[in-house]
Amino acid sequence: MKAIILAAWEWSRLRPLTKTIPKPLIKIFWKTILNHNLEIIYKYVDEIIIIVKYQKEKIIESLWNNYKWINIVYKEQSDEKWTWAAIRWIKLNDDLIIMNWDSIFDKKDINKLITFNWYWVLVKKVQNPEKYWIFKVDINWNIKKIVEKPKKNIWNLANLWVYKFNWKIIDFAENIELSIRNEYEITDAINEFVKKIPFKAFEIEWEFIDVWYPWDILKSNSYFLNKLEKSKIKWKIEKWVTIKWNIILEKWALLKSGTYIEWNVYIWKNSIIWPNTYLRWNTVIWEYCKIWNWVEVKNSNIWDYTNIPHLSYIWDSIIWNNVNIGWWFITANLRHDKENIKIPVKWELIDSWLNKFWVIIWDNCKTGIKCYSMPWRILENDNFINPGTMIK
């Protein structure tokens, strides 16, 4: 059996995060999205074909460094629109798993999908089917049709983009024609497939993590941290450190005296937490970070080589690589009217369903001392913010 992972496009809904890193390489907890899925499926297949295009060199380099022992083949997406077009010319004569890299699934659901004799697709019941690709099934869960974002709420089984197909799906993909959007649509290939070959829907039994928007990174880390049942401490903790609940402290990371940690927190290799720092729930700190004296960090994702100095408050935020925060940086993460925070994404205002979300600071940014921020702001790459600035 083969596996095809569709990992070619940029995913602009995650901007600015995907401007300098492809979405498959965004870290959730301590693995990339791509790694989470690879580690579930590799043992069931003899070859994994990864469809690449956007920043393909970074994906290939990452997998070469970490997964040399897996048989991985790369195929570049052509200029034909929609990633589904990339599989149209792959020649196989075996069953295959096809999955997007958008989401992280529980291995129990993937294991069932792969080991069952039937051909399946993972689905989930949803309350708002008009936002999804929806399957119509019979009483035995045999798929009769797939419809993209139906305007009428007549079915509610959403496509989760993980499939086990017979190799003939390639033939159907080769023969579909361009849609009215001038794209090769998965819906058209599946609708032809189900006319000839039995194809069932399999409703997931466990949680899955959908990473569509920047704030989903915080939700995803929270999911894994909330499952942490005991601490894993692999390096040094000085005296007078208080730890409530559980933490993961990786090798060569250091907690200095006076640090107070409340709820579950993850601290990666070579990071230093200086005295009298307060780390609160669902915070993830990556490699070579320095969190200085009298800093409070809550529900935030802080990437590599970032410094957060004295008397700063970082709440509900994403701070990327090589960022230097000036002394006394204060965040405002709550609207005065206490409404949900709405965020512009691709010329549309999206409800985050969060009432607290602060800022994304992207690579190589610097802020001067005593800067402040209003809720939900973005600092793009290589920005310098003058001392005393209110980021509006």
Q: Strand 96-100 and strand 2-7: pairing?
A: parallel
Which of the residues 310, 335, 366, 370 is marked catalytic?
310
Distances (CA, A) of 173 to 16, 89, 193: 33, 9, 9
Would you call 68 helix, strand, or coil by DSSP?
Answer: coil
Distances (CA, A) of 245 to 31, 143, 238, 264, 281: 22, 45, 18, 6, 9
- CA nearest 376: which of 215, 265, 237, 181? 215
Catalytic annotation present for 36: no
Within 10 A of 110 (CB to CB), how many other CB atoms are there?
22
Question: Burial level of 6, CB count in 10 A (0-12/13-18/19+)?
Answer: buried
Q: Strand 27-28 and strand 31-32: pairing?
A: antiparallel
User: What is the C-alpha separation between 208 and 212, in angstroms, rounded?
Assistant: 13
* Angle in degrees, 0-180, between the axes of helices 33-41 and 56-66, rounded to the nearest 10: 50
Answer for the pair 214, 232: CB distance below 8 angstroms, yes or no.
no
Residues noted as catalytic:
310
